Structure 1
């Protein structure tokens, strides 16, 4: 599974990480950890909005954006702090790679949140028109 998520995070479009950083993230099995965290947290965020918050007062774009923002910020902060601390313990120091990988993860979270919203919103009663 580490190979699958490594391919997602290191594709030709995104692949701007230094080879040493990518190698260490891969060797520590962090791509797998971050990919699974991304999928689970986005799925939870979407389910929270469309199932738990399925009330008429939450059927506004503002609430959807708040849940989206919380999900994106969580993914950004989690990856940034975890990668930095894990690789620091292993004796590695990278400057900008943590930030760029965290930004990529946040973008993936936003895109995945929007895609899952299109699918899951049809199972909602009150919030089925949000955001599209």
Structure 2
């Protein structure tokens, strides 16, 4: 159930289904670990912005946007490296190489992960910003 739910998010309900790559990611339950790490990174960065780096000089839309960009980049790297390492290990265990087409599929997967990161960080920002001393009006 959870496996299907997470896979639907990454495959955009079939709109970004990537054939063999998506099958490998789903069958080996690789979406879950990427989603978990991405959520943790997004939560840490968002909470840090509103409650650790909460100063008048950082209470700006540009700094908040930079925080979102950093989260998107970190989670892009997490998705790409995790998928690459896990798939390399899986294919090596059966004595074959990862198909060359998987590289572009990993890029698409990583971009989708980055987009979900930005959306998640925005939603968390809206929920937790109210108790921030200086940044309670950022992003709006």
Tell me the secondary structure at the aligned position of residue 12 of structure 2.
coil
- What does residue 22 of structure 2 align with? 22
**Is the radius of gyration larger for structure 1 or structure 2?**
2
Unaligned runs of 5+ in 1: none
2:50 is the alignment partner of 1:50? yes
Q: How many correspondences in the alignment? A: 131
- What does residue 64 of structure 1 align with? 64
User: For the Cα contact (< 8 Å) 2:34–2:82, is it kept in 1?
Assistant: no
Q: What is the root-mean-square deviation in Å for CA atoms of aligned residues? A: 1.5
Tell me the secondary structure at the aligned position of residue 37 of structure 1.
helix
Distance 1:11 1:60, change over 3 A: closer
- What does residue 126 of structure 1 align with? 134
Unaligned runs of 5+ in 2: 92-97
Structure 1 length normalisation: TM-score? Answer: 0.90
Structure 2 length normalisation: TM-score? Answer: 0.86
- What does residue 8 of structure 1 align with? 9
**CA distance in 1: counterparts of 2:124 and 2:70, whole angstroms:** 16
